[in-house]
A and B are shown apart, each in its own frame.
Chain A
Amino acid sequence: MTSPLVRIQREDFSLQDEIDALSTGRADIGAIVSFTGLCRDEAGTLAALELEHYPGMAEAEIARVGAEAAARWPLMGLVAIHRYGLVKPGEQIVLVLAASAHRRPAFEAADFMMDYLKTRAPFWKREHRADGTLGGWVEAKADDDDAAKRWEQAP
C-alpha cells in the first residue's frame, strides 16, 4: 500500500468522493469500510463544536497511526480526514476509509484508526452552547483509552 492519505481541513468532505478517489480505476479491492463521525446536538443544548488542532503534528501523528495500521493489516488504501474549526450539529467531523481485498482487515483497520485517532491525534473540542454561552473543553474519556488499549495485545 502507498502511504495513508491524511487531510486536516476546515471544509466539509464527501464520503462518496473519497471512496471514488480510492477505488476508481482498480478492480483488486474487495472491501472498503468507512467510518464517519458527526457532531451531536446533545439534546438541543449544543450550537457547535470548536475543534482546535496542532498543525503539523496532527498530520504527522495520524500518518504514524496509519502506517501502523498498514503494517498490521493487508490494506489497499487508507484515508483519514479530520476537520477543524466550527462544526455544527449534524455536520461531519471525521472520516476514515480502509480498503482491502476482504472485509475483516478493512473493518479492523478502520476500528484501529478511529481508536488511536481519538487518543493520539492532537485535536481538542470545545462546546459552544445553544444559549449563546461558551461551554468548557470536552474532557477525554477513559472509555477511549480503554478502546485503544485493546489493540496492544498481540493480534
Chain B
Amino acid sequence: MSTATATAAAGTRTVRIVYFAWVRERVGLPEETLDIPADLATIADLVRWLKARGEGYEAAFTDEKIVRAALDHVHAKPQAPLGSAREIAFFPPMTGG
C-alpha cells in the first residue's frame, strides 16, 4: 500500500470494485473504492495487483481463469483494457436462469 499511497499524486485513479458470490466471500467485502495505479493496463494487471493486497484476495483469485469480470456493467476478458471504467466487478461463472 505504501507504494500506491506514495505515488497517489503522480499516478493513481479512483475506481469502485464490486464482488459477488464466493468471490465476495473470499475477499470479505461486497465493494470497495480504491486508488489503483494508473499504469495498470488490463483486468489481468488489476487482478495481480489485488492479489498482492492480502490473503482474501489471493484466495478469491487463486484460479484467475475462473473468475469473471465486468467493466461498467459489461462483461470483459482478462486482457481487456481497463480504460476509463469507473466500476469494475469480479464474480464466479454465472448460474442464473
Taking beta carbons and an 8 Å cutoff, which residues of A are in contact with B? 37, 51-54, 56-57, 60-61, 82, 93-94, 114, 117-126, 137-140, 144
A125 CA / B91 CA spacing, docked (Å): 12
- Pair A57/B89 contact, Cβ less than 8 Å: yes
A109 CA / B10 CA spacing, docked (Å): 51
**For the complex, would chain A's binding face be called helix, strand, loop or mixed by DSSP majority?**
mixed
Taking beta carbons and an 8 Å cutoff, which residues of B are in contact with A? 18, 20-22, 70, 73-75, 89, 91-97
Q: In the complex, which of the residues A37, A82, A124, A138 contacts B91, with contact meaning CB atoms closer than 8 Å? A: A124
Q: In the complex, which of the residues A56, A60, A114, A138 contacts B95, with contact meaning CB atoms closer than 8 Å? A: A138
Q: A124-B21, A137-B22 are in contact. Are A51 and B96 (CB under 8 A)?
A: yes
Chain B residues within 8 Å of A138, by CB: 95
- Pair A124/B92 contact, Cβ less than 8 Å: yes
- Pair A52/B97 contact, Cβ less than 8 Å: no
Q: A52-B21, A137-B21 are in contact. Are A125 and B96 (CB under 8 A)?
A: yes
Chain B residues within 8 Å of A53, by CB: 96
Chain B residues within 8 Å of A139, by CB: 93, 95
- Pair A122/B97 contact, Cβ less than 8 Å: no
- Pair B70/A124 contact, Cβ less than 8 Å: no
Q: A52-B21, A54-B20, A60-B73 are in contact. Are A125 and B95 (CB under 8 A)?
A: yes
